[in-house]
Amino acid sequence: MRLAGLYVITEPALRDPIEGARLALEGGARIIQLRDKRSTTRQLVQRGQELRALTRPYEALLIINDRLDVALAVEADGVHLGQDDLPVALARQLAGEKFIIGASAETVEEARHAEAEGANYLGVGPMFATATKPDAGAPVGPERLRAIKQAVTIPVFGIGGITLQNAAQVLEAGADGICVISAIMGAADPAEATRQFLAMLAHRDV
Active-site residues: which are they?
35, 104, 133
Find residue 164's DSSP bridge partners.
none
Nearest Cα to Cα of residue 140 among 123, 155, 154? 123
d(Cα 13, Cα 145) in Å, to the nearest integer?
28
d(Cα 3, Cα 8) in Å, to the nearest integer?
12
104 CB-near residues (< 8 Å, 6+ apart):
80, 81, 82, 83, 110, 122, 123, 124, 125, 159
- SS3 state of residue 140: coil
